[in-house]
Amino acid sequence: MTAPSTDNLRVDGDRLWSTLTDTARFGATAKGGLCRLALSEEDAAVRRWFVSACEAAGCSVDVDELGTLFARRPGADPALAPIAIGSHLDTQPTGGRFDGILGVLAGLEIVRVLNDAGVVTRHPIEIIDWTNEEGARFAPAMLASGVFAGAFDADYARSRTDRDGVTFAAALAAIGFAGERPAGDHPLAAHFELHIEQGPVLEDAGTQIGVVIGVQGIRWMDVAVSGLACHAGTTPMALRRDALQGAARLAAAVDAVGRSEPGVSLSTIGIFQAHPGSRNTVPETISMSIDLRHPRAEGLDRMEADVRAAAATIAAELGVEIAIIPVWSSAPVVFAPACVGAVRAAVADLGYSHQDIVSGAGHDSVYISRVAPTGMIFIPCEDGISHNEAENITPAQARAGADVLLRAVLAFDAAP
């Protein structure tokens, strides 16, 4: 590949948009969204279309033991591992038309435009459709990419069941997409994923492209605030040990911790329930959840320490007990500098407004980053709405994202 031949290479935005809208017939819902649960008939239909479209674009298509599809466009150097462009074609039960799908179909568009221009890359290019990213039919989410990266084993994945008791293995066999190739059988030179943001940050800032630098870490905790139930009419304020007031103060402290690094740290209390829940009884106990997020482990450590310090102060002030129990955590992911750099260079070349962003949601790239240099590109989505039939983007946003993806892949391919 030589630089002059690709500097002005752009995707065909109209063709990409047509592909996105045409294939939205597979699992289309009345409200304009998609219901394309993993390994369903609708998923099978889009897979059959995808295989034939990739083969028509000159790719060889392979399928692994978990149904993940790998469509390969050969490269010039047979010793190099492929540069993957991966995401997923499955959706939530009332999902949108772009979550995951954009990342796979942009891969197809890139192969098509490379074909049209007669470009031969050094590395093979692999478009990947990871099976069961959503986790909506078979929990957990990101199942096939998790197996590929060694987070789960394949038998675990095959034994997952949907709500009707159908196993992943049975559903995979039923649609005819169980391959022979073991999951994770080959190295990837890199993994790039174009995705809608699924949040409001880029739209709110009026930014066209998000350069995803990593995935935030998460800590989930259960909190029990215990005081003394007493009569609302006969117990003076000064003699109360009011669990609800303790919890309300802790909620404010958790909010302050979330706001401590604007645009970086996040905190959420999603569950909050008072017991016994009687109008004229001061609550004895509050059950609440805390969700803390930060791109760096030391940030999470600091946030958790601040929450615990606030809890100790509040407990002493109000005479209540506050127990904070960790229930789950996910370590932060920092994407590979080579991939992030390729995305950053691509955006700069193309002149799109851009900003660094940390992914708040899980993606196949989170697991794949364990086994391959990984980068992601975000584009805005309307009102930040996703996992919803109203999920929407514009053709220009899709084209911009795909152009950045194309140039990032080419930049990575060209790097020494």
Question: How many angstroms separate the Cα of 53 from the Cα of each of 46, 71, 111?
Answer: 10, 10, 11
Query: 309-329 as b/e, with b when 16 or more CB fall inside 10 Å?
Result: ebbeebbeebebebebeeeee
**Comparing C-alpha atoms, which of 339, 365, 292, 353 is closest to residue 141?**
365
Would you say 131 or 198 has its CB closer to a second copy? 198
Q: Which regions of 105-250 does DSSP assign to beta strands (E)?
A: 125-129, 190-196, 209-215, 217-226, 230-231
Q: How far is the CB of 255 from a second copy (least distance, A)?
A: 5
Would you say 58 or 360 has its CB closer to a second copy? 360
Render 18-62 in DSSP notation, one character per residue.
HHHHHHTTTTB-TTS-B---TTSHHHHHHHHHHHHHHHHTT-EEE
SS3 203: helix
Would you say 239 or 415 has its CB closer to a second copy? 239
Please provide the distance, in angstroms rounded to a whole number, between the alpha carbons at the two ends of the chain: 12
Confirm or reject binding of residue 273 to a second copy (CB under 8 A).
yes
Render 222-276 in DSSP notation, one character per residue.
EEEEE---EETTTS-GGG---HHHHHHHHHHHHHHHHTSSTTT-EEE---EEEES
Contact 264, 296 (CB under 8 A): no
Give the other-Cβ count within 10 Å of 280's Cβ: 7
CA pseudo-torsion sign 203, 204, 210, 212:
negative
Q: How far is the CB of 177 from a second copy (least distance, A)?
A: 30
Question: How many angstroms separate the Cα of 71 from the Cα of each of 50, 164, 369?
Answer: 9, 32, 20
Given candidates 1, 28, 166, 201, which one binds a second copy under the rule CB under 8 A? 201
Q: How far is the CB of 190 from a second copy (least distance, A)?
A: 25
Confirm or reject binding of residue 266 to a second copy (CB under 8 A).
yes
Q: Site map for a second copy, 292-331, x if CB under 8 A?
A: -x--------------------------------------
Would you say 153 or 317 has its CB closer to a second copy? 317
Confirm or reject binding of residue 135 to a second copy (CB under 8 A).
no
- Phi-psi group of 377: left, alpha or beta (phi > 0 → left; psi -120 to 50 → alpha; rest → beta): beta
Confirm or reject binding of residue 245 to a second copy (CB under 8 A).
yes
Instruction: Tell me which stretch binds a second copy (CB under 8 A): 41-49, 91-99, 114-122, 216-224.
Output: 216-224
Given candidates 9, 272, 350, 382, which one binds a second copy under the rule CB under 8 A? 272
How far is 352 from 401, CA to CA, in rounded Å? 10
Given candidates 32, 182, 263, 326, which one binds a second copy under the rule CB under 8 A? 263
Confirm or reject binding of residue 227 to a second copy (CB under 8 A).
no
Would you say 272 or 352 has its CB closer to a second copy? 272
Q: How far is the CB of 36 from a second copy (least distance, A)?
A: 21
Instruction: Tell me which stretch binds a second copy (CB under 8 A): 93-101, 115-123, 263-271, 304-312.
Output: 263-271
Given candidates 13, 220, 313, 355, which one binds a second copy under the rule CB under 8 A? 220
**Subset of residues 384 to 413 that bind a second copy, contact rule: CB under 8 A:** 384, 386
**Subset of residues 342 to 381 that bind a second copy, contact rule: CB under 8 A:** 359-361
Give the other-Cβ count within 10 Å of 139's Cβ: 12
Given candidates 169, 286, 311, 343, which one binds a second copy under the rule CB under 8 A? 286
Residues in the site for a second copy, rule: CB under 8 A?
197-201, 204, 216, 218, 220, 230-239, 242, 244-245, 247-249, 251-252, 255, 258-259, 262-263, 265-274, 277-283, 286, 289, 291, 293, 359-361, 384, 386
